[in-house]
Structure 1
Amino acid sequence: MSTPTATSTPDASAPVLSYSPVVLPVPGRPVDLQLRVSAPATGADLPVILLSHGHGPSNNLSSLNGYAPLASFWAAHGFVVVQPTHLTSRTLSHLVAGAPGAPDFWRSRAEDMSRVLDRLDVVERTVPQLAGRIDAAKVAVVGHSLGGFTAALLLGAGLNDPVTGDTVHLAEPRIKAGVLLAAPGRGGAVFNGPMAEQWPIIGAVDFSTMTAPALVVAGDKDDSRHFTDMGPEWHADPYTLAPGPKTLLTLFGAEHGLGGIAGYDAAETTDENPERVAALARLTAAYLRTRFHPGAPAWRTACEALTTGPDAVGRVASK
C-alpha cells in the first residue's frame, strides 16, 4: 500500500484536451492509421509519449480508446500522449484478417510509431490548440505487454524473423527513451508455454542491442505460463539482458495488468489496485521527466516516496 501522498491522481487544476481520431492515410496499410492525442490545456515545449497498446481480450482497450489511467495522468503532467490503433486491435479484426503481417503485425506496429513521427507536424496542426506546443526533440515510447515488445524494437532490440531467418532492426533514433510495461522476455529454451508455437515472434527478440535508456516495469506476480515456465522474472529480461542505461521497477503484488492500467474498471484486470496504477503513473512520468531534463529531481523524489519504507509499492534497480 502506498501513502495518500503517493497515490495522487491528475491535478484538477491541469485540464487535459483529448482529440480523436486523428487520421493519417498510409499507402499500403489495410486501413488508415488512427490516433488519439491527449495534451495539457496549457504549456509549451511539451515532450511526446508514443503509447503502444497491448493485445488483451477486450475490444476497445487495445486501441486508441485504452489506457486512460496512464494517458490522462501523463497529459495532465505536461506530456503530449499519442495513441495509435495498431492493426492487432480487435476493433480492426474484421478489416485486416488475412492481411500481410497478420496476426501479430509486429513490423507494422513499430512502423506506426515512425509514421507518427514522420508526420508529427500534421498531428500538431490537426489537434485544436496544440500547434506550436510540441518539443519534437523529446520523444519517448511506452508499451504494455505486446506494446512492450514493440517499444523494445523501437529502442534498439533486434529480431530474428522466424519466417525469413533474417535479422531485423527497427530502432527509431528520434525516440530518446522508453518505458516497457510487463513486456515479454527471452526466447530459447524457456520459451516453452502452450502459446509459444502460435506466437514465435515473441521469442525472437535480442535485447543485447537495445541500447536506448529505458525503464522496465515488471510485476512480481506476473507469471505468464502461456509463454514460459520461467516465472515473473521473465518480464525483467528487457532489463537483465539489455545493456545500460536501464532501470528496473518491480511492482509488489502486480500481475500482468499492473493494477489496471489498460482502462478504468476493466473487468479483465486480475489485480485491480487503483493505488498501484496511480503510483505507476507517477513513477513513469517522473522517470521520463528526468530523462528529458537531466538533473531534475522528479525521479529521485518519486522513488523516495513510493519505493522506500514499509509502504513501498515496489523496488528499483539500475545499471
Structure 2
Amino acid sequence: MGVPGRVGGVSEPRVRLRLLAVSLLLGVTACSAPVAPGATPPAPSGSSSAVVVPSAGASASAAPSAAASPVVVGAPKAALAVGVRTLKLSRGADRALPTTVWYPAAGKAGGSPRKDAAAAAGRFPIVLFSHGLRGLPAYYQQVTTRLAAAGFVVAAPAYPFTNRDASPFQGADVINQPADGSAVLTALLKLNTTAGDRFAGRLDGGRIAVAGHSAGGFTSAGMLANKRDDRVRAAVVIAGGALGGFRGSRTPVLFVHGDRDAVVKYETGRDAYDATSWPRAFLTVLGGGHSEFLAPGAKGFDPMMKTMTDFLRWTLYADAAAKGRLAKDGTRSGVSRFEAKL
C-alpha cells in the first residue's frame, strides 16, 4: 500500500476518522443503547462494586473456591452460571477505564449474574466488548451475559470520553479507543497470575476476541489496524466498519449490520467486508436499523446472538461443529441473511 497523504499536517486516515466520529455524533441517540425506545437501560448486577486490580501478594483466601464445580474443557455443552465484577482500570492518569466483566461462574446456571461469584473451573477465552457513543457496558448486558453463559469472559470498558457520563464528551476520541482496549486486555490478563484473585488460572490469553457496536465496532476493527494487537484472534463488528484498514496476520471477522441503518450506513460495513481477504462473514439484519436488533425479542436478535456465539466458539474454542452451524444460525426468511468466505 502507498504512503497515506496528509491534510493540513494531519494524516489523511486521521482526518477520515475524525469525520467518521462527527457522522456518528449526528446519530448519537440511535447508536448509544440497544434497548427499546424510551426504556431505561438496566444496570448490571453488581455494577456499583469496584474492584481495584490487586497486587501479586494478595491473600489466596480472598477469592471463593470453585473446586466444587466441574472443570470446563473445550466449548461448554450447556449454559453456565454467570458472575459479574467491576475492575478499576486506566491507561494513564486521564484515561479511566472502569470495566465490567461478565464471566462463567461456579454454581447452577440461570438467573441474574451474581456479583463477585466464584469463577467456574477451567480456562476461558476472553472477549473485549466495546460500547457505542454515549453508551455504557450495561446497555449490552443482554448480549454479554449470554456470551458469558456460553463460556467466555467478557470484559466491557466504559471509554473515558465517549461513554454516556463522559464530561467532556468527545466523539472523535474513538480513534484512541483501540489502545484503551489493548490496555484493558493487558490489565485483565495480569489477574490470571495474581495469587488469590478469582480469575487466577481462569483466563486464556491465547484465545482473545474483540467485539463491539457502532463506535465500539470501529474500535474493535481498530485493534486489527495500524497499531495491531497481535493477541486478537477474532473480531465481531456490529453496525461498524474498518478503522484504518486491517493489518497483520489473517484474523476471522464477523460483520453484523442492519440494511436500513441510518447512523452507520450498511455500505460502510459492506465496504469493510469487501476490503479484506481475511476469513470473513457477514450477517445482514433485513430491515434492521442501527441498534434495535440488539434487544431480546426484537427482529434479528436471535440469529445475531446465535451467529455471534457460534463464530466465537469456532474461532476461540476450535469448535468445528459451531462453524458448520453458522449458515443456519444466520439465515432466517425475512429476518436475516448470512454469507461468508471462511
TM-score over 0.5 for the pair: yes
- Which of 154, 165, 174 aligns to 1:106? It is 174
CA separation of 1:214 and 1:127: change in aligned 2, threshold 3 A: farther
- Please state how far the C-alpha of 1:135 moved relative to its aligned partner: 0.8
Give yes or no for contact 2:79–2:150 (8 Å, CA) kept in 1.
no
- Please state how far the C-alpha of 1:143 moved relative to its aligned partner: 1.4
Structure 2 residue identity aligned to 1:24:
L
Give yes or no for contact 1:249–1:316 (8 Å, CA) kept in 2.
yes
CA distance in 2, matches of 1:141, 1:177: 7
Give yes or no for contact 1:217–1:236 (8 Å, CA) kept in 2.
no
- Please state how far the C-alpha of 1:53 moved relative to its aligned partner: 0.7
Aligned counterparts, 1:113-262, within 5 A:
113-124=181-192, 125=194, 129-156=198-225, 169-184=226-241, 205-207=243-245, 209=247, 211-224=250-263, 232-261=266-295
Q: Which residue of 1 aligns with 2:150?
A: 77
Structure 1 residue identity aligned to 2:156:
Q
CA distance in 1, matches of 2:201, 2:339: 36
- Long gaps (5+) in structure 2: 1-76, 106-119
- Which of 132, 138, 143 aligns to 1:54? It is 132
- Please state how far the C-alpha of 1:87 moved relative to its aligned partner: 1.7
Q: Deviations over 1:164-185 (max 9, x none)?
A: xxxxx22100111100001046
Q: Which residue of 2 aligns with 1:5?
A: none
Structure 1 residue identity aligned to 2:293:
G
Q: Which residue of 2 aligns with 1:7?
A: none
CA distance in 1, matches of 2:244, 2:166: 29
Structure 1 residue identity aligned to 2:100:
R
CA distance in 2, matches of 1:13, 1:26: 34
- Long gaps (5+) in structure 1: 1-10, 57-61, 157-168, 186-204, 265-272
CA distance in 2, matches of 1:295, 1:86: 32
CA distance in 1, matches of 2:208, 2:171: 28
CA distance in 2, matches of 1:245, 1:65: 31
Deviates more, 1:105-114 or 1:142-151: 105-114
CA distance in 1, matches of 2:292, 2:196: 30
Paired residue secondary structure (2:208) = strand
Paired residue secondary structure (2:161) = coil
Matched, 1:26 2:91: yes
Give yes or no for contact 2:283–2:330 (8 Å, CA) kept in 1.
no
- Please state how far the C-alpha of 1:90 moved relative to its aligned partner: 4.0
CA separation of 1:314 and 1:105: change in aligned 2, threshold 3 A: same
Give yes or no for contact 1:177–1:214 (8 Å, CA) kept in 2.
yes
CA distance in 2, matches of 1:286, 1:146: 23
Q: Deviations over 1:170-210 (max 9, x none)?
A: 2100111100001046xxxxxxxxxxxxxxxxxxx442647
CA distance in 2, matches of 1:14, 1:289: 14
Structure 2 residue identity aligned to 1:285:
T
- Please state how far the C-alpha of 1:72 moved relative to its aligned partner: 0.7
CA separation of 1:220 and 1:290: change in aligned 2, threshold 3 A: same
Structure 1 residue identity aligned to 2:140:
Y
Q: Deviations over 1:37-74 (max 9, x none)?
A: 00011241200000011114xxxxx1232201110110
Q: Which residue of 1 aligns with 2:14?
A: none
Deviates more, 1:68-77 or 1:30-39: 30-39
- Please state how far the C-alpha of 1:236 moved relative to its aligned partner: 1.6
Structure 2 residue identity aligned to 1:74:
L
- Please state how far the C-alpha of 1:312 moved relative to its aligned partner: 5.7
Structure 2 residue identity aligned to 1:172:
D
Give yes or no for contact 1:219–1:258 (8 Å, CA) kept in 2.
no
CA distance in 1, matches of 2:269, 2:90: 35
CA distance in 2, matches of 1:177, 1:253: 27
Give yes or no for contact 1:209–1:243 (8 Å, CA) kept in 2.
no
- Which of 332, 336, 341 aligns to 1:313? It is 336
Q: Which residue of 2 aligns with 1:35?
A: 99
CA separation of 1:70 and 1:126: change in aligned 2, threshold 3 A: farther
CA separation of 1:55 and 1:294: change in aligned 2, threshold 3 A: same
Q: Which residue of 1 aligns with 2:68?
A: none
Q: Which residue of 2 aligns with 1:6?
A: none
CA distance in 2, matches of 1:316, 1:48: 25
CA distance in 2, matches of 1:18, 1:127: 17
- Please state how far the C-alpha of 1:106 moved relative to its aligned partner: 2.8
